[in-house]
C-alpha cells in the first residue's frame, strides 16, 4: 500500500478532527494529473477549514489546503507532462476536492497554470491565492481606468495576505497607497511595502454615512461589512473599489448613494473559479510587478505540523503577510 503524509479533516459527532497522518494513495479522487506537492500556503480560507470556523469543507475525509505548487509526476492531460512545474489555486481544492497539504495530489489538468519561469515553487506559494487575488483586484481597477494619476488608493486589512500584496503591487505600479489596519504597530512594515499613509481601522468602522468627503480614487478591500461601506462613501467621483474579502463580515451596510451620485463602481473579485486565461495573465503580471524582496519580507515559512496553529492565527486576524508551508 502506497501512502503519503497529509493533513486530513474528518467529520466527528463533536465537530471535526484534523490530523497529520498517512493517506492511502488509492483513496485519491479522480484526476488526470498527479503532482508531487513541494510548497503550499495558509490562506484565510485554509484557516476557516482547519479550525472549522466556517463550512468550507464539503466532503469527508478531506485533505485541507487550497493552493499548491509542485512538479507533475504523471499526466494523461494533453497540456502537461512529467517534470512540468505547476501551480494550482482554488477550483475547490481543500473544499470539494482533496487538497494541498499533502505530499501528493491528483487533480484536473485544466485547473493548472505553469509556474512562471522566474519564480520558484516557494515564491508562487508566498504569493498564493491571497496574492493572486490582490493581482486580480489591481487588474480590475486598471481595467476600470483607475490609473495612478486619478488619485490615492485605499487598501483595507493591509497587514493581512491580500492587503500586503495589494500594497506592494500598487506602490510598485506608481499609485499612492493609504493602508488601513487595526495594527498601527505594523506601520513600519506597511511603509516598507510601499504605503505612503497609514490609517487606523477604526477610522472606517463607525456607522457609514451615505456619502462622506471624497478621498480615494480607488481601493482593494479584503474586509467587507462596515469597513467597505465607509470606504465606498469616501470614494471620489467615478472611482472604484475591488471587493475581495469578508474578514470583517459578510454584510454590506451601504446605500445606493455612492453608486448613483458619484458613479462609484464596486468590482467583485472571485479567484476560485476564475477562467484559466485570467489566471495566466495574473501570474504573468505577478512575475513582473511584484517586488520579490518585498514578497520575501512579508513571508514566513512553516512545516506541515504547524498548519493548525497558523490557521488559528489567521482567523484570529493575527497573521502578518503571507505564510508558506514546506511540504517536500
Distance CA 159, CA 88 (A): 24
Measured from the CB atom, is 43 or 103 closer to ligand NDP? Answer: 43
- Which residue spans within the chain are E strands per DSSP? 3-12, 15-24, 33-41, 62-63, 67-75, 85-89, 104-107, 113-114, 153-155, 177-181, 197-200, 216-221, 235-243, 265-268, 299-303, 322-326
Cβ 251 to ligand NDP shortest distance, Å: 12
Distance of CA 107 to the CA centre of its chain: 20
Cβ 53 to ligand NDP shortest distance, Å: 11
Measured from the CB atom, is 162 or 235 closer to ligand NDP? Answer: 162
Cβ 111 to ligand NDP shortest distance, Å: 15
Residues 190, 198: contact at Cβ < 8 Å? yes
Measured from the CB atom, is 28 or 243 closer to ligand NDP? Answer: 243
Closest residue to ligand NDP in the complex (CB):
160
Give, rounded to a whole angstrom, the gap between the first and last alpha carbons of the chain.
20
Cβ 90 to ligand NDP shortest distance, Å: 7
Measured from the CB atom, is 65 or 163 closer to ligand NDP? Answer: 163
Measured from the CB atom, is 103 or 299 closer to ligand NDP? Answer: 299
Measured from the CB atom, is 61 or 317 closer to ligand NDP? Answer: 317
DSSP letters spanning 182-193: S-GGGHHHHHHH
Cβ 117 to ligand NDP shortest distance, Å: 25
C-alpha to C-alpha distances, 112 to 22, 70, 239, nearest whole angstrom: 25, 11, 34
Measured from the CB atom, is 130 or 307 closer to ligand NDP? Answer: 130
* Residue closest to 80 by CA, chosen among 110, 101, 53: 110
Distance CA 69, CA 89 (A): 9
Cβ partners under 8 Å of residue 175, min gap 6: 148, 152, 153
Cβ 25 to ligand NDP shortest distance, Å: 30
Residues forming the site for ligand NDP (CB under 6 A)? 43-45, 129-130, 133, 157-163, 181-183, 201, 222-223, 227, 244-248, 269-272, 314, 317, 319
Distance CA 9, CA 19 (A): 7
DSSP type of residue 320: -
Distance CA 73, CA 252 (A): 45
Residues 326, 299: contact at Cβ < 8 Å? no
Measured from the CB atom, is 127 or 247 closer to ligand NDP? Answer: 247
Cβ 166 to ligand NDP shortest distance, Å: 9
Cβ 328 to ligand NDP shortest distance, Å: 23
Amino acid at each position: 500500500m502506497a501512502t503519503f503524509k497529509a493533513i486530513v479533516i474528518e467529520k466527528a459527532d463533536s465537530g471535526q478532527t484534523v490530523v497529520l497522518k498517512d493517506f492511502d494513495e488509492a483513496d485519491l479522487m479522480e484526476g488526470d494529473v498527479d503532482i508531487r506537492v513541494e510548497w503550499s500556503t495558509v490562506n484565510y480560507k485554509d484557516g476557516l477549514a482547519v479550525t472549522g470556523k466556517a463550512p468550507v469543507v464539503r466532503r469527508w475525509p478531506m485533505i485541507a489546503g487550497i493552493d499548491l505548487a509542485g512538479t507533475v509526476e504523471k499526466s494523461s492531460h494533453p497540456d502537461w507532462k512529467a517534470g512540468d512545474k505547476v501551480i494550482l489555486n482554488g477550483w475547490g481544492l481543500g473544499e470539494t476536492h482533496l487538497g494541498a497539504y499533502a505530499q501528493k495530489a491528483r487533480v484536473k489538468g485544466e485547473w493548472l497554470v505553469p509556474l512562471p519561469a522566474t519564480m520558484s515553487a516557494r515564491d508562487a506559494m508566498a504569493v498564493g491565492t491571497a496574492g493572486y487575488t490582490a493581482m486580480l483586484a489591481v487588474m480590475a481597477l486598471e481595467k476600470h481606468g483607475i490609473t495612478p494619476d486619478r488619485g490615492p488608493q485605499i487598501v483595507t486589512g493591509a497587514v493581512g495576505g491580500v492587503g500586503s500584496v495589494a500594497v506592494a503591487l500598487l506602490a510598485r505600479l506608481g499609485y499612492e497607497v493609504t493602508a488601513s489596519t487595526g495594527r498601527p504597530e505594523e506601520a513600519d512594515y506597511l511603509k516598507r511595502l510601499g504605503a505612503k499613509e497609514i490609517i487606523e481601522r477604526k477610522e472606517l468602522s463607525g456607522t457609514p454615512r451615505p456619502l462622506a468627503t471624497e478621498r480615494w480614487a480607488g481601493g482593494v478591500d479584503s474586509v467587507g461589512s462596515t469597513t467597505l461601506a465607509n470606504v465606498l462613501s469616501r470614494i471620489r467621483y467615478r472611482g472604484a473599489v475591488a471587493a475581495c474579502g469578508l474578514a470583517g463580515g459578510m454584510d454590506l451596510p451601504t446605500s445606493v448613494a455612492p453608486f448613483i451620485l458619484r458613479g462609484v463602481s464596486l468590482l467583485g473579485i472571485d479567484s476560485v473559479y476564475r477562467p484559466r486565461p485570467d489566471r495566466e495573465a495574473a501570474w504573468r503580471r505577478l512575475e513582473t510587478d511584484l517586488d520579490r524582496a518585498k514578497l520575501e519580507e512579508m513571508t514566513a515559512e512553516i512545516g506541515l505540523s504547524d498548519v493548525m496553529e497558523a490557521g488559528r492565527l489567521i482567523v484570529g486576524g493575527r497573521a502578518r503577510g503571507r505564510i508558506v508551508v514546506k511540504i517536500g
